[in-house]
Structure 1
Amino acid sequence: MLLDFHSEIYSWIRGGLFVLFIYHFLIFFQNKSKLYLYYSLYLLALTIYLFQHLLPEETSTFYNYLNFPIQFLAYAAYVAFARDLLDTRAHLIKWDKYFEIEIKILLILAVVFVLIQFLFGENYQNKAFVIIAPFLTLFTLASFYVIISKIKDNSARYFVAGSLIYVLLANVSFIEIITGPKFFIDYGVQPMFFVYLGAFLQSIIFSIIIGFIIKRIQDKSKNAEVRLAVKLKEMEELKMTALQSQMNPHFLFNSLNSINNFVLKNEVEKASDYITKFSKLIRVILNSSSSPTSSLSEELTILALYVKLEQMRVTGGFNYNVTIGDNINSESIKVPPLFLQPFIENAIWHGIMKKKGEKTIDLSIKEDNGYVLCEILDNGVGINKTKQITHLSQKKKFFGAEATENRIRILHQNKGVDIEIKDISNENTTGTKVSIRFPLN
């Protein structure tokens, strides 16, 4: 069986190598990685070399031109594959230069051996190869030593193991050049059997290495995606913190201005009471400012303190009513800190502040088909009238409202977030309605 190149064992090895060539060549076209190109070219050259024994005798003259050159081309592709696989440009900077020179020498030898066959014949090719082969083998073994000693990686060890198996078995086959084929045939085996066996074992090991590399790339890709997601989250949190840091001075300025007004009017008791409530509010805000989000329950507590302060500032005060739906768990719902405060502030100072008579602000929070719906309704002069008075354009928003809208959109990645400010004034009544809708979970 081992004497007939048409037997199944030889056919399976040749077919397997050709299938591997097609497979890696197609992968190269998909991802344009030279690793797969070099390996596929190596497999192609090796397959062509092994098909020599199936050619009819009348083509033997042609094959004499191809025999040794195709081996040099296969070895050149193998060295290029090794450089890319092991990244010798980075790990073996000095030795990599020798690999580069070796590839050029092998390509030159492929051409030289064609000329030797043309000018002198097959015998001279054999003699020339006997001279060259020991040098190639010694350089290969030295390269294996350098790779193992310098690159501490399983891929390098497997690569050297697979290559060493092929080199040793191939050199067993090349003994035929010295002893002649009869030495092997007497033992019931073709001399080239050892090249076939070496190529088979090497291809299995190399395929395992490439599998490891693909898995490593996938793991790196997954890790990169996780790191990217973390960085994006951090970036979103920084955006929210930046917007919040812009809002806090705005709120503090208005509050301190109120204290100043009490002092100027010589209303000492009101100023003292306001400062007490204000300090309590600031303490609560500072405790919640370490996180980009807070619970809806915390938000409503802060908002209640804020409204008490504002009720002291507004002449005659105003009514503030809060309604929370039965399906709302205010402890579990996360919101940006002070996300309702700017809208309440606008309702007070741009709505009911300019209205005479009873002033009312109603806040309702309810569940609406998997969303949280917050509605702020005031009976002030209306947003349209306010814009006319303050000369604001229809498109421009009050600072706090715009910053809060950006924060809540960032928190929910702009998914399912809807904020609408609507003037509900008519012939009988005036007012503004703010609707904030965002996902419940």
Structure 2
Amino acid sequence: MDERAISFIDTKPYQNVPFTMLETTNNALEISEILTKEYQEQFDSLKQTKSIERTKTYWFKADLSQIDFEGKKWVIRTGGYALNNLYIDQNEDIKVSRAGSFDPVTKELELIIWRYHTISAENLIEGKYVYLELRENYFPAQIYTQQILAISESDFKTNSIIRFVGDAEYNFRAVFFLGGIAFLLIYTFGISFIYKDRLYLLYGAYLLFLLMYLGVKMYPAQSTVLFGSFPIFNHAWNEVTQILLNYWYVRFVRKFLDAKNLYPLIDKAGKIIEWIILGFVTAVLISIFSNPLSTSLYIIVTTERLMMIAFAVVTNLYIILNLKDRRGLYIVAGSTMLLTGSVTALVLGDIQYFMIGVIIEIFIFGMGLGILMKRREDERSVLNKEMEKVKMRALQTQMNPHFIFNSLNSIRSYMIKNETKEASGYLSKFSRLIRQILEYSTEEFITLKEELQVLSLYVQIEQLRFRDEFGFIIKVDESLNDEELIVPPLIVQPFLENAIWHGLMQKQGEKKIELFVEDAGNKLKIVLRDNGIGRDEASRNNVGKQKENRSMAIDLTRQRIEMLEEKDKKGDKVTIIDLYDDSRAPKGTEVRLLIPKIQKRVK
């Protein structure tokens, strides 16, 4: 017997109603046609339990002649179905009572029980019959030999209230469970806001849709309150929230695993799955609102579930076979528990198994997030200590303090956003630059190759800092051996810094700097050319800003070059040229340095 149809016989017994049945693939049949002799002759008794076929409609001719109405109303129960129509006689006309899952709720007891029909003796067709039209296109269902049950309305109300009270234990567990998810949701969003970490935002989104799905699924009364007049929205809510729950789950897993770096195959597959899930959402909404009784909805949802099961299984196996760190184990354990609970709930039709799987999964993921947070805090601590060391080294080099502190602030910015890998990479480059400058600061000369390497490293740091890549090209005359020629350390750096900060940073579009080292007889000619906004525009934009540090650095460089050639005082060793296009619009600046060509001495 259908447990959904007889779930209230604990207190007041239901009466079995004899019936004959007609099954048909013609889903457009009207009651007027069913009452004709042609179709009446096709009704037959049901010998044994029968599984419902989603493409068929089932008509029942229920004989209520054994019911003693005694002026009372009686309730007819058949279980929950997508289409559940009862046809009765009302003032010598055939009327329909609708109680399918897509029909509006009008009875107060719908808050605590399944849908039902209420009739009186005057509603019987031919004084003894009522006709039922049932169809279930979504959930697996069966038709039983004792499918149709009847009970007096007063007994039905008593049973319903007793059942509601008897469910107190389940209701307590459900409230405790959903309250726990709600608390964890608020906590997760709080952590996300404090640490600006997208991982917690993704996990919060997953918990939010879990709460939205289970909040209505576990409390049918909630759906009646929210969607009683528009039950089709309840169906859309259930299916869409469940599918989007999977969407946020996949996004969280990718982020938690750092799949882009550790499991690139999972990352690519996950992105594809996410787009497919959004496609399923669109297909579900179209199916529900275009034809809610179509079997296409069942096919779409079942396909999506099978896809997610396959994705979870394959992902777990791949992680186990290619394990990179402990995060993978948390995902495998958590998703396995969730998958086990989901499949068990589907097979046994009991959502409490899904609840158990969710509880275990949330506990495991919570542990993983806690350990990940501890690891990141440790990384921040190490980076902070390294920053302090680098800061001291940088100050010892007497570099531009603005460059030092701005670079350190950029590293902190990466750390605040939990981009620890970027912060670590930035700090590594910055630390290497400071070490090289410290090393070269004690040297009178370094090789041309070492000078160019330092300049390249400096440009990489500035590119990271501004997160705006600009081209940097170095071209050395083929006739020059950059390992044999020596130059004063950081002779070009002040001009390069000037080109980046005051030439390129305020420019829109393509940005580039070119550095040429040419053979000029007994001298080296170094040309630094940018396609920035030009000196005039830069001066206008920097009105009121301090220029002392920049001017001092350039003046010191001039003096350093002049000191190299005390005998040759003729001509300017540093030339700055403004570049213009054909229309006399600024198109950049060119700096030319002339320094002695000095060969490295062999010790």
TM-score relative to the length of structure 1: 0.48
Structure number with larger C-alpha Rg: 1
TM-score relative to the length of structure 2: 0.36
Tell me which protein shows more strand as a share of its residues.
2
